[in-house]
Amino acid sequence: MQIIHTVAELRQWRKHAGKVAFVPTMGNLHQGHLALVRAARQHADAVVVSIFVNRLQFGQGEDFDRYPRTLQEDADKLKGEGVAVVFAPDERELYPHVSQDYNVEPPHLQNELCGRFRPGHFRGVATVVTKLFNIVAPDVACFGKKDYQQLAVIRGLVADLNFNIDIVPVDTGRAEDGLALSSRNAYLTPAERAQAPQMYAMLSQMAAQIRGGRQDYANLEAVAVANMQQQGWQVDYIEVRHADTLAVAHAGDKQVVIVAAARLGKTRLIDNIEVNLD
């Protein structure tokens, strides 16, 4: 496995790499990331994993400075998964002019759901992913369903900007108690970690009600928010959306997704469950 730090070296390697699958990450890897790598390995001759903490997708007061940087530990995990290249540029390498004057601006979806609470976040995601796609030139890229809104933005970006890349969605990795795997889980105190599976339990309960015929989505959402708040969560949103477009779901939609974001203490967690009503 090679660890490459420069765009020029990565592009030189790419010339002779065959079919490439790509997994972009910010490092501090857990089993959910490794599941993405295993999925990627099934689609290509070689897998490239990027590790880059992208300043552009962090808002003011968010955890950019304290986000864990664990390159050596991450590289050790990826070597065991058969990764060909770890692309780990520093900030000056990826943003040579310091500021990024040309950005990729997603449509209205960037201002909904998580975008309401993290202004500019999806612009930062779309911009860095576009840069990485141009540098790595993958045939396939794998993204986790846990970041469901991010997945929707990336799919739209690839379609509208004519990238010849297949986007492969990968199911959310979970701990035994149901908590979605996330690098930010490490910020939870022991008491918060014990409480954190409540989010997935709540989503599962809503999904069961919808499968049972409930389509009064606004009422379901309101009850779920109230229940979570009573248990000490600071809820950003709990909403039922159309699974493909992330438009507000309506009675009769056959594919919906329940998406949620809430804080336990200082830690913001997100999760979702897809519901197939065919």
Q: How many CB atoms lie within 10 A of CB 185?
A: 16
Q: What is the pLDDT of residue 62?
A: 84
The closest of 18, 76, 67, 16 to 49, measured between CA atoms, is 76
Question: Which element (helix H / strand E) includes 264?
Answer: strand 255-264
pLDDT of the residue at 262: 98
Residues 202 and 166 in one domain: no
**H or E segment and range at residue 236:** strand 234-242
| Residue 150, annotated as binding a ligand | yes
**C-alpha neighbours within 13 Å on the C-beta side of residue 114:** 26
Which domain CATH number covers 200? 3.30.1300.10
Whether residues 202 and 144 share a domain: the answer is no
28 annotated to a ligand binding site: yes
- The response to whether 230 counts as a known ligand-binding position is no
CB atoms within 10 A of CB 91: 12
Residue 99 and residue 61 share a domain:
yes
Q: What is the CATH number of the domain that holds 39?
A: 3.40.50.620
Final residue in a domain of this structure, among 116, 136, 170: 170
- pLDDT grade, residue 61 (50/70/90)? confident
User: How is 11-60 classified by DSSP, letter by letter?
Assistant: HHHHTT--SEEEEEE-S---HHHHHHHHHHHTT-SEEEEEE---GGGPPT
C-alpha distance from residue 48 to each of 86, 106, 235 (Å): 6, 25, 36
Q: Confirm whether 88 is domain-assigned.
A: yes
Whether residue 119 is found in the same domain as residue 237: no
* Furthest CA-CA distance within the chain: 57
Q: Are residues 101 and 232 in the same domain?
A: no
* pLDDT at residue number 60: 80
Residue 127 shares a structural domain with residue 260: no
Structural domain total, the chain: 2
Pull the structure tokens for residue 266.
């200082």
> Both 37 and 138 in a single domain?
yes
Is 32 annotated in a binding site? The answer is yes
Residues with catalytic roles: 33
- Which has the closest alpha carbon to 277: 248, 247, 263, 257? 257
Q: Which domain holds residue 248?
A: 183-273
> Do 104 and 17 share a structural domain?
yes
Read off the DSSP letter of residue 204: H
Residue 253 in domain: yes
Is the model's pLDDT at 242 over the cut of 90? yes
What is the per-residue pLDDT across 247-265, written as a single tens digit (0 to 9) for each? 999 988 999 999 999 999 9
Whether 178 maps to a domain, the answer reads no
Q: Are residues 161 and 189 in the same domain?
A: no
- Give the model's pLDDT for residue 4: 98
Q: Are 116 and 27 contained in the same domain?
A: yes
Q: Is residue 33 annotated as involved in ligand binding?
A: yes
Angle formed at CA 60 by CA 110 and CA 181, multiple of 5 degrees: 65
202 and 164 share a domain? Answer: no
Per-residue pLDDT tens digits for 166-215: 999 999 999 999 999 998 999 999 999 999 999 999 999 999 999 999 99
Asked if residue 184 belongs to a known ligand binding site, the reply is yes
Read off the pLDDT band of 3 (50, 70, 90). Answer: very high
Identify whether 224 is part of a domain. Answer: yes
The pLDDT assigned to 10 comes to 98
